[in-house]
């Protein structure tokens, strides 16, 4: 640090009553110990410290870190959960017709085909456990599959699985009105099983989960549309297989064609089901 020679000027410029022999390394003004900020070489006065901080370039690292953190979040899963919860609240409002307007009933397929998708965002008004169990399952498995596939593929998988569940209801139980996200969630389970199996991971645990949950639907008195579970499971597994077989960047077009092929197949089965009504 710089040492000022003795004399009347050897007082702190901010505190004239305090003698000091130390000067700021940048502006050479005398500063007392209370005004000194240690620098790489010597000390700086408060004004020079503020000036240096103001002119220093801002680091982009914190912003980049926040962006990376946001990109890692399963926002599609959180979004689906939020939509389901909002719809459920609307269902509970006095005089609400949300359930009747959005549920899927096979005889409505020809005139209101969108119900095959909207039904996966509606849940039973008389059973809070219905939405609770579905949302817990989505919370547990959704983020895993979303991070494995990416947001766009994940959303495609979810919607196609929901559609596959509705198609199965149309073909197997055409007199059954259905609501609930379980068909789409079974699609996630099927996809996760295929991915784990194909990549050499441990698939036995997820297989047990699938068998138990699928089997519950066959128990008498459960009032569960196992047809939707089965349709969603098969569709989700098929979509995941397409994704796995076309993982390379050069296969993007093939992947899109493969997914569209599954969608067209579901539409074809829907047309068949409508004709059989």
Cβ pair 264, 270 in contact under 8 A: no
Burial class of 207 by CB neighbour count within 10 A (0 to 12, 13 to 18, 19+): middle
Fold (topology level) of 74-276: Rhomboid-like fold (1.20.1540)
Share of the chain above pLDDT 90, in %: 60
Q: Compute φ and ψ for 138, nearest 5 degrees.
A: -65, -40
- Residue 240 CA to residue 238 CA, distance in Å, equals 5
Counted residue by residue, the chain has a size of: 277
SS3 content of the chain, % helix, strand, coil (to 5): 65, 5, 30
pLDDT at position 66: 45
- Residue 167 CA to residue 163 CA, distance in Å, equals 6
What digits encode the pLDDT tens for the residues 233-256?
999 999 999 999 998 889 999 999
Cβ pair 220, 169 in contact under 8 A: no
Residue 235 tokens, joined? 């569709």
User: Span 177-204, mean pLDDT?
Assistant: 89
CA distances from 159 to 31, 103, 182, 201, 213 (A): 69, 15, 12, 25, 20
Q: How confident is the model at residue 51 (pLDDT cuts 50, 70, 90)?
A: confident
226-245 vs 151-172: helix crossing angle, rounded to 10: 140
Catalytic residues: 182, 229
All residues at 6 or more sequence positions from 192 whose CB lies less than 8 Å from its CB, including other chains? 141, 144, 145, 148, 206, 240
What digits encode the pLDDT tens for the residues 201-232?
777 778 887 888 777 777 766 678 899 999 99
pLDDT at position 213: 76
Query: Is residue 9 over pLDDT 80?
Result: no
Cβ pair 186, 165 in contact under 8 A: yes
pLDDT at position 224: 81
Query: Is residue 65 over pLDDT 50?
Result: no
pLDDT at position 17: 82
The rounded mean pLDDT for the chain is 86
pLDDT at position 5: 42
Q: Compute φ and ψ for 178, nearest 5 degrees.
A: -135, 150
Q: Compute φ and ψ for 44, nearest 5 degrees.
A: -120, 150
- Residue 271 CA to residue 138 CA, distance in Å, equals 30
What digits encode the pLDDT tens for the residues 25-46?
888 888 887 888 877 667 788 8
The residue behind tokens 């008004």 is 125
pLDDT at position 18: 80
- Residue 266 CA to residue 249 CA, distance in Å, equals 26
pLDDT at position 233: 96
Q: Kind and range of the H or E element at 44?
A: strand 43-44
pLDDT at position 222: 66
Query: Is residue 55 over pLDDT 70?
Result: no
What digits encode the pLDDT tens for the residues 109-161?
999 999 999 999 999 998 899 999 999 999 999 999 999 899 999 999 999 99
Residue 243 tokens, joined? 């994704």
Share of the chain above pLDDT 70, in %: 88
Q: Is 205 helix (H, G, I), strand (E, B) or coil?
A: helix
pLDDT at position 31: 85
Q: Where in the chain is the domain with CATH 1.20.1540.10?
A: 74-276
CA distances from 209 to 34, 50, 79, 192, 258 (A): 67, 61, 24, 11, 28
Residue 36 tokens, joined? 């000194």
Which of 229, 199, 200 lies closest to 214 in space, CA to CA?
Answer: 229
């Amino acid at each position: 640090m710089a040492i000022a020679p003795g004399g009347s000027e050897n007082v702190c410029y901010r505190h004239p009553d305090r003698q000091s022999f130390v000067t700021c390394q940048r502006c050479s003004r005398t500063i007392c110990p209370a005004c000194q900020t240690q620098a790489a070489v010597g000390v700086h006065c408060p004004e020079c410290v503020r000036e240096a901080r103001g002119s220093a370039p801002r680091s982009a690292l914190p912003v980049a870190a926040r962006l990376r953190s946001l990109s890692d979040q399963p926002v599609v899963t959180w979004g689906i959960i939020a939509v389901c919860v909002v719809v459920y609240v609307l269902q509970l409002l006095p005089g609400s017709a949300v359930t009747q307007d959005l549920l899927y009933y096979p005889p409505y397929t020809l005139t209101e085909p969108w119900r095959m998708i909207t039904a996966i965002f509606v849940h039973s008004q008389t059973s809070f456990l219905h939405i609770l169990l579905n949302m817990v399952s989505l919370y547990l498995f959704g983020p895993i599959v979303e991070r494995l596939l990416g947001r766009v593929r994940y959303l495609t998988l979810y919607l196609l699985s929901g559609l596959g569940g509705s198609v199965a209801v149309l073909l197997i139980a055409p007199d059954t009105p259905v609501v609930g996200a379980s068909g789409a969630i079974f699609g996630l389970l099927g996809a996760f099983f295929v991915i784990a199996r194909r990549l050499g991971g441990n698939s036995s645990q997820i297989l047990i989960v699938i068998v138990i949950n699928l089997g519950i639907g066959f128990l008498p008195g459960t009032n569960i549309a196992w047809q939707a579970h089965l349709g969603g499971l098969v569709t989700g597994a098929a979509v995941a297989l397409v994704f796995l077989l076309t993982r390379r960047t050069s296969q993007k077009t093939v992947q899109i064609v493969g997914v569209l092929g599954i969608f067209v197949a579901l539409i074809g089965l829907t047309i068949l089901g409508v004709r059989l009504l």
